[in-house]
Amino acid sequence: MKEIENINILAIESSCDETAAAVVHNGREVYSNIISSQIELHKLYGGVVPEIASRKHIEKINQVIEEALKEAGMSLDHIDAVAVTYGPGLVGALLVGVAEAKAIAYAKNLPLIGVHHIEGHISANYIEHPDLEPPFLCLVVSGGHTHLVRVADYGKYEILGRTRDDAAGEAYDKVARAIGLGYPGGPKIDRLAKEGNPEAISFPKAHIEDSPYDFSFSGLKSAVLNYINGCQMKGESFDPADVAASFQKAVVDVLVENSMRAVGAHDATKFALAGGVASNSALREGMRAACEARGIELYYPSPILCTDNAAMIGAAGYYEYISGTRHGWDLNAVPNLKLGDR
Ligand code: KG4
Ligand code: ZN
């Protein structure tokens, strides 16, 4: 794809519980990346409360954009296009970002580019890896998604597999709650698992017949909850670190096995991780070892670019921009937007 030089994109992300804005130059250089997280607020409820998320976005969005421009040393006059996540996500949360992006684009007569949230997560890899270009395979693992994707070209995706039920991050969050670790559970399980024995408890690893790249985590989650209940009913104590380590091993083993099956079938030479769970130390280590054994180059973003942020929307937005994607003033939030839909 022919690059267009000197394009500054103002990117906005508000699909879940982070209000975020960024200025990204030519898709790969981040001038600013401001994230206002609502985690402390939602912690009180053990998970994201959609209405609270929307209200907080509307309160924060202008400040976050102002800060992103200020940190980039720019005004809206330096911006060439506005990119915004328009799905998937919480509808009320998405609407705040979409309405804001439309208002700015309309007022400044700028092109408007709606971006798929998963395309954003995948594109986070472009920011710190100047050598990474499609085609490559990508495992997107977050609180809402678990997708194994073939990135055929910029903006061109083939979904090889997906979860049939819970997302990987969702399983982490639910198991963390059962152990009493609180929300968000992923990083806490990651930390606790380091003190436990991953072989202590044998939890099931679901493989879906006839769908070698699909995932299922609800059976695993139930097995962990049953194990904890069983111990409690027998009046026995259990070691939370062993539960965390054994659960994590079951998740990581399946993620790595399916990913490597796809690598073999597609003769891939490059593999990327994306999404909040891509920060997980056991997943990174498991993928590093598996990729090294096969001579495959492994990529993953820094933790700050793994969780929801707007820089990744600016990176994806740039490639959409140069391929000619433009959205009209009728752009709306699409809570169940499919990857590849326009
Ligand atoms: O990408 P993200 O910020 O939001 C979604 O688009 O869903 O991902 C958040 C998810 C949460 O479920 C969180 O528990 C999980 O990512 N997560 C982790 C780790 N850091 C965040 N899961 C496992 N290990 C981690 N280190
Ligand atoms: Zn996300």
Closest atom of ligand 1 to 307 CA is 3
Distance 117 CA to ligand 2 centre (A): 6
Distance 275 CA to ligand 2 centre (A): 6
pLDDT at 48 over 90: no
Report DSSP letters for 244-275, one per residue.
HHHHHHHHHHHHHHHHHHHHHHHT-SEEEEES
- What is the tens place of the pLDDT at every residue in 75-109? 999 999 999 999 999 999 999 999 999 999 999 99
DSSP 277: G
11 - beta bridge partners?
A: 22, 83
Across the range 113-120, mean pLDDT stands at 98
Ligand 1 neighbourhood includes 276 CB (under 6 angstroms): yes
150 - beta bridge partners?
A: 137, 158
Ligand 1 neighbourhood includes 184 CB (under 6 angstroms): yes
Distance 143 CA to ligand 1 centre (A): 5
Which ligand is nearest to the Cα of residue 274, counting in written order?
A: 1
* Sheet with 270-274, edge to edge strand ranges: 156-162, 146-153, 136-141, 270-274, 297-299
Which residue, judged by its Cα, is nearest atom 23 of ligand 1? 186
| Apex 333 CA angle, 313 and 28, nearest 5 | 5
Are the CB atoms for 22 and 30 separated by under 8 Å? yes
Which residue, judged by its Cα, is nearest atom 16 of ligand 1? 276
* Furthest C-alpha separation in the chain: 67
Neighbour tally for 87: CB within 10 Å: 22
Closest atom of ligand 1 to 143 CA is 7
Are the CB atoms for 16 and 93 separated by under 8 Å? yes
- What is the tens place of the pLDDT at every residue in 180-222? 998 889 999 999 999 999 999 999 998 888 899 999 999 999 9
Residue owning tokens 């794809």: 1
Alpha helices in 201-239 (DSSP H): 218-233
Residue owning tokens 């995706």: 157
Residue ranges and CATH numbers for the domains of the chain are 8-125+305-322 (3.30.420.40), 133-301 (3.30.420.40)
